[in-house]
Amino acid sequence: MANPVEIKNLRKYYRSGIRGVGVQALSGLNLTVKQGEVFGLLGPNGAGKSTAIKIVLGLLRQNSGECLVFGEKISKSAKRRIGYLPEAPNFYRFLTGRELVEFYGRLCGLRGAGLQKSVRESLELVGLSDAANRPLAGYSKGMLQRAGLAQAIVHNPDLVVLDEPSSGLDPVGMKAMADLVLRLKAMGKTVILCSHMMGEVETLCDSVAILYKGAAALSGNLDSVLGRENLKALVFENLSAEAEKKIAALAEENGARFAGEGRAGETLSNIFGKIVGERRGK
């Protein structure tokens, strides 16, 4: 089965200003998003994250390189399989939650009883059934983001692209959004999560790519990116020094190597800081 997203050597230039000075937004980007995973797209502002996402969604065309979505060049049928929550969406505030989701459902070609069922189910999934008939103007920031998510999934897409879904949310709203990402994954959907929140990415994502100046400076499975593939941490309460020695000796007898105390591996924010810091220093 084809991967949801396969990007090879993608380049994108923007012409801007009266002299048409070019900006290179993507400079040979490679990445693979696998079926059923939550993929974290990280990078400082201007790294090319939104440009890459817009090419995946078919909103922009690359200058060269390849972007395959479910094994095809962006086509109408591939677009139907993608749901998108833009960064800081600006919905019509006079619509109710139900009307918003219905509007997007219609745009995706849903009609009649099928539309009503999909609208009901996506509002239910994001926990907005009770607020469905209230105008968006009265929604909290967290409710608006959840309404945006309901809009993104109303047509039951296989790939869901979320651009900064937690920005501006309080911890409760962030937790709700994180739980929803995991729900989508449990439903078998593939999720691309563009985020600045390292903790969120670290707890939710199976794979990550750190973009810098239009290319992936580092990408892969989260465990390999954090260097913890072969590490295992056991946490004990009230472990005596004597017992610790015995456990260490037993582990070494069985071929393990003592690799350090405390938390295993790196944190994603350290890796991010290192990569961006190193490159800025060049």
Ligand X SMILES: Nc1ncnc2c1ncn2[C@@H]1O[C@H](COP(=O)(O)OP(=O)(O)O)[C@@H](O)[C@H]1O
The yes or no reply on residue 50 touching Mg ion (CB under 5 A) is yes
Q: Nearer Cβ to ligand X, position 145 or 195? A: 195
Q: How far apart are CA 12 and CA 18, in angstroms?
A: 19
With CB cut-offs between 5 and 8 Å by kind, which of ligand X, Mg ion, none does residue 51 bind?
ligand X
Q: Supply the minimum distance, in Å, between the C-beta of residue 147 and ligand X.
A: 23
The yes or no reply on residue 51 touching Mg ion (CB under 5 A) is no
Q: Which parts of the chain fold into alpha helices (H)?
A: 49-56, 76-80, 97-107, 112-125, 141-153, 171-186, 198-204, 222-225, 241-253, 268-281
Q: Nearer Cβ to ligand X, position 50 or 62? A: 50
Q: Which residues pair with 159 in a beta bridge?
A: 82, 190
- Considering all CA atoms of the chain, what is the largest pairwise distance in Å, rounded to the nearest integer? 74
The single residue among 2, 8, 23, 227 that binds ligand X, judged by CB under 6 A, is: 23
200 CB-contact burial (10 Å; exposed 0-12 / middle 13-18 / buried 19+)? buried
Q: Supply the minimum distance, in Å, between the C-beta of residue 6 and ligand X.
A: 19
The single residue among 19, 21, 45, 111 that binds ligand X, judged by CB under 6 A, is: 45
Q: Nearer Cβ to ligand X, position 20 or 112? A: 20
Pairing of strands 72-73, 82-85: unpaired
The yes or no reply on residue 51 touching ligand X (CB under 6 A) is yes
The yes or no reply on residue 216 touching ligand X (CB under 6 A) is no
The yes or no reply on residue 254 touching ligand X (CB under 6 A) is no
Closest CA to 202 of 211, 213, 193: 193
Q: Which window, 41-49, 114-122, 185-193, 222-230, contacts ligand X (CB under 6 A)?
A: 41-49
The single residue among 5, 25, 110, 159 that binds ligand X, judged by CB under 6 A, is: 25
Q: Is the CB of residue 175 less than 8 Å from the CB of residue 205?
A: no
The yes or no reply on residue 151 touching ligand X (CB under 6 A) is no
Q: Supply the minimum distance, in Å, between the C-beta of residue 59 and ligand X.
A: 11
Please report where in the chains the tokens 């990116």 appear, as a residue: 225
Residue 140 has which token pair? 């909290």
The single residue among 49, 98, 155, 189 that binds ligand X, judged by CB under 6 A, is: 49
Q: Is the CB of residue 11 less than 8 Å from the CB of residue 26?
A: yes
The yes or no reply on residue 46 touching ligand X (CB under 6 A) is yes
The yes or no reply on residue 219 touching ligand X (CB under 6 A) is no
The single residue among 40, 43, 142, 165 that binds ligand X, judged by CB under 6 A, is: 43
Q: Which residues pair with 28 in a beta bridge?
A: none
Q: How far apart are CA 241 and CA 229, in angstroms?
A: 27
Q: Supply the minimum distance, in Å, between the C-beta of residue 76 and ligand X.
A: 24
The yes or no reply on residue 48 touching ligand X (CB under 6 A) is yes
Q: How far apart are CA 272 and CA 280, in angstroms?
A: 12
Q: Which residues bind Mg ion (CB under 5 A)?
A: 49-50
Q: Name the residues that contact ligand X, by CB under 6 A.
A: 14, 16, 23, 25, 43, 45-51
